[in-house]
Chains A and B, each alone.
Chain A
Amino acid sequence: MTDVFFYIFATAALAGALGVVFSRNTVSGAMCLIGTFLSMASLFVLLEAYFLAVIQVLVYAGAVMVLFLFIIMLLDVKETAAKKASIYTWAASLIGFGILITGVFAISAAVSIKNKAPTMPEASGTSLKAFGYELFTTYLLPMQVTGFLLLIAMIGVIVLSKKVNTE
């Protein structure tokens, strides 16, 4: 049963990703990206990372994409449907895509990760208590640094979006 769900959500995520790349309209591209993020949250659930699935929906599909849509509609960028991508852009992008895919598949074939069974110890990734415990013991310093980073980002955004006086 989980196999069926995996294939459904993996296909949905990949279709959404292709929608982001190839849609002419930026708003529909953002909608496709929301679909991709939701399918990926479902994949996280299949991997028993329930907390991260919730975070994914709240932060990515919620906050980040709302910000994106807000900016897209605020800027109101004119449609550039007339401008077709040149043959060089197509070739360069496809070569980049091919190199990445070849590299990843070569590595995964060399390392042989095929028949590895999931070995998650009980009550680790799944339980929120274990998550919080790790976060406030082993990873206390990264946690503090992340909080400081958010503060810096907030100040930076305020400074950046302030109206610049041109003398």
Chain B
Amino acid sequence: MISLEQYIVVSSLLFAIGFFGVLFRKNTLVIYMCLELMLNAANLALIAFSRYHGGMGGNLFVFFTITVAAAEVAVGLAIIVALFRKRQTVEVGELNELKN
């Protein structure tokens, strides 16, 4: 039988890999995909806790998280497209107007 700890290990590794990607990559689209990965890792932890604790709260929370994530992806990608239209780039290193 798989213990709760193993699910938490997988979930935390996925979250940490997503975090690593957010810090490591320069492409806005890849950073955004890594953010999705982090959201999903949290979902996995919530479902595992819900299963081992014996309640429906975690499952329902994941349902809401998925809905909000879908809305967030739509808005975020629209922002990236608007940014690309204005600047012709998606590299975070070149988007530094606010710096000066």
* Interface core residue of B25, B30, B59 (most chain A CB under 10 Å): B59
With A33-B37, A59-B70 known as contacts, the answer to whether A47 contacts B64 (CB < 8 A) is: no
B71 & A150 in contact (Cβ 8 Å cutoff): yes
Count contacts on A: residues with CB < 8 A to the other chain. Answer: 81
Which residue of chain B is the closest to A52 with respect to CB atoms?
B62
Instruction: Count A-B pairs with CB separation below 8 Å.
Output: 223
* Interface core residue of A6, A29, A71, A156 (most chain B CB under 10 Å): A71
A96 & B19 in contact (Cβ 8 Å cutoff): yes
- Whether a CB of chain A sits under 8 angstroms from the CB of B79 is yes
Return the CB mask of B14-38 against A: 1 if under 8 Å, else 0. 1111111101111101101110110
In the complex, A51 Cα to B39 Cα: how many Å?
A: 18
| B binding-site residues for A, Cβ under 8 Å | 1-10, 12-21, 23-27, 29-30, 32-34, 36-37, 40, 43-44, 47-48, 50-56, 59-60, 62-64, 66-75, 77-82, 84, 90-91
- Since A118-B52, A150-B71, A161-B82 are in contact, a sample of 8 more A-B pairs with Cβ atoms closer than 8 Å, ordered by chain A residue number, is A30-B33, A56-B43, A93-B20, A113-B3, A118-B51, A124-B54, A160-B79, A161-B81
- CB<8 Å pairs between A and B, sample of 10: A40-B14, A52-B66, A56-B66, A63-B70, A75-B80, A118-B51, A131-B60, A131-B63, A134-B60, A150-B67
